[in-house]
Each structure stands twice: as structure tokens, then as C-alpha cells.
Amino acid sequence: MARVVALANQKGGVGKTTTAVNLGAYLAHAGKRVLLLDMDPQANATSSLGVDKNTLARSVYDVLIGAEPASRLVCLTACTGLDLLPASPALAGAQIELVPMAGRETKLRRALEPLRPRYDYVLIDTPPSLGMLTVNALTAADGVLIPIQCEYLPLEGLGQLLHTIELVRQSLNPDLAISGLVLTMYDPRTNLSRQVVEEIRQHFPVIVFRSIIPRSIKLSEAPSYGEPIITYAPHSSGGQAYESLCREVLDRER
């Protein structure tokens, strides 16, 4: 049965998508069956895997409004073991269309049910907001993985996210756990990066992953080639870091 992990942080550009795509690719490489589910209307995870969001006839949008079963829309990717449930710009409409629907927060959870036996991991990439799409992802998830960008002091925004997670726990998904915090875009030359690492390790000593993702040009280039770092530049510092994060994720499972 798949473990469902949502990557969430309402702050934009912190590495949610980069982490979802690259962790997904390394987990698949380690022999796990992985589904990457793109819940962001920007569809960056979709395009990072080489799928053109503008040519998609259907996407996770159709799943959310109940027009298609999720299994029909799963596509294979160039990475063996890594499947994609793509997003498209239409997903932006779902934010609004879901509002009057009964059980609107549990749409994704229900739609995913039949897919769970087929995978070891479902990674859900979420948009930079705490709206209906993210709430659906948190309601469908067993755990939340929170990327933290080392270039901003994160604690204030993090409080808001943890509060939302707590609300989802109380009303919709009592078993939702925090899978971990991942420090991203680390630049050892800046005091700020070191300060963020120190602060996060102090406040969250158990849940923060030891692996730190450095700022790496290769990581920012790979999406425009439609490839994860594991094929684009596996020996780069970014590739090595995501491989190490993947090992930690697998270790925590034991």
C-alpha cells in the first residue's frame, strides 16, 4: 500500500517541486514504485518530467471534479518506476469549482484510493498556497514533507503551515504526520544559510533530515530538459544530495 506524502509550504519557490521530482526519481531508481501527483496549476512537476502541460487533454483536474478515474490519467515517464499524474492550467479552476461540492476536501483522497495498492510511494506536489488544492493533498496524505529554503528565516511562515496541518488533523485526517523538513538551496558562503540550518535543527531536531540540498545550477537547469537530476547530472552536488535524502527517507521507513 502506497505511503502518500504531500510536499507543502505556502511560500513560493522553496524547492517543493524540485524535491518531489528528484526524490521521486531516486526512490524509483531504488526499486520503489512511485507516483508523482501534480496538484499545482503551474504544472512545474509535469513539465520537469518532459510532459507539455498545454497539450494535455486531461489532468488531475478531471480527477478532482469526478470526470475521470485517476488510473486513466497516469502516464509513464522516462524513469522506470516513476509514473506521473499530470496537472494542467485548468486545475486553477478547481480551487473555485470545488467550493460548493459536498466532501470537497476529500476528493483527492477518494480518487487515490484505487491507486494506492499499485505504488510504494505517492508524492504530491502542491501549489504555494494553503487553499483547497493543498488541503486536498494534506487530507489524502499520510505525511507532509516540508522543504525549507535556506535563504529566508523561515520560522514565521512555518507556524502558519503547522497550524493548517493541525486543522486538517483535527477535522479531516487525524493520522497526518510530519514526514520531515528538508533544507534546500543551501549556500555555505552565506551566514544566512548557516543560520537557517542552525535554527531549524534547534527547533526541530528530530524531524529535520540530515541531508541538505545545496544551491546547484544543475538542479535549476534540469527541468528545462524535462529530466530529473538522476539522469541530467547524477554526479553534481544536487544529484548527490537528493540521492542521500532518498536513502534517509528509505531508512526512516524501517
User: What is the contact surface with ligand ATP in residues (CB under 6 A)?
Assistant: 12-18, 40, 42, 44, 128, 184-185, 213, 215-216, 219-220, 223, 238
Q: Which is nearer to Mg ion, 151 or 199 (CB)?
A: 151
**How far is the C-alpha of 148 from the C-alpha of 155, rounded, in Å?**
10
CB of 21 to Mg ion, least distance (A): 9
CB of 242 to ligand ATP, least distance (A): 9
Contacted entry of ligand ATP, Mg ion, none for residue 227, CB cut-off 5 to 8 Å set by kind: none
Q: Three cell numbers at 159?
A: 507556524
Instruction: Verify binding: residue 18, Mg ion, rule CB under 5 A.
Output: no
Cβ neighbour number for residue 17 with a 10 Å cutoff = 26
Query: Greatest CA span in the chain, whole angstroms?
Result: 51
Contacted entry of Mg ion, ligand ATP, none for residue 88, CB cut-off 5 to 8 Å set by kind: none
Instruction: Verify binding: residue 19, Mg ion, rule CB under 5 A.
Output: no
The dihedrals phi and psi of 154, each to the nearest 5 degrees, come to: -95, -10
Contacted entry of Mg ion, ligand ATP, none for residue 159, CB cut-off 5 to 8 Å set by kind: none
Contacted entry of Mg ion, ligand ATP, none for residue 115, CB cut-off 5 to 8 Å set by kind: none
Q: Is 34 helix (H, G, I), strand (E, B) or coil?
A: strand
CA nearest 5: which of 32, 43, 42?
32
Please answer whether residues 33 and 79 qualify as being in contact, where contact means their C-beta atoms are separated by less than 8 angstroms. no
Q: Which is nearer to ligand ATP, 42 or 179 (CB)?
A: 42
Please answer whether residues 127 and 7 qualify as being in contact, where contact means their C-beta atoms are separated by less than 8 angstroms. no
Interface map 28-67 toward Mg ion (x if CB under 5 A): ----------------x-----------------------
Of 15-23, 53-61, 112-120, 232-240: span binding Mg ion (CB under 5 A): 15-23
Residues facing residue 35 across a β-bridge: 83, 122
Q: Three cell numbers at 83?
A: 509514473
CB of 193 to ligand ATP, least distance (A): 11
CA nearest 231: which of 37, 60, 28, 40?
28
Q: Three cell numbers at 194?
A: 548557516
Of 12-20, 53-61, 143-151, 175-183: span binding Mg ion (CB under 5 A): 12-20
Instruction: Verify binding: residue 17, Mg ion, rule CB under 5 A.
Output: yes
* One-letter amino acid for residue 12 of the chain: G
Question: Would you tell me which residues interact with Mg ion (CB under 5 A)?
Answer: 16-17, 44
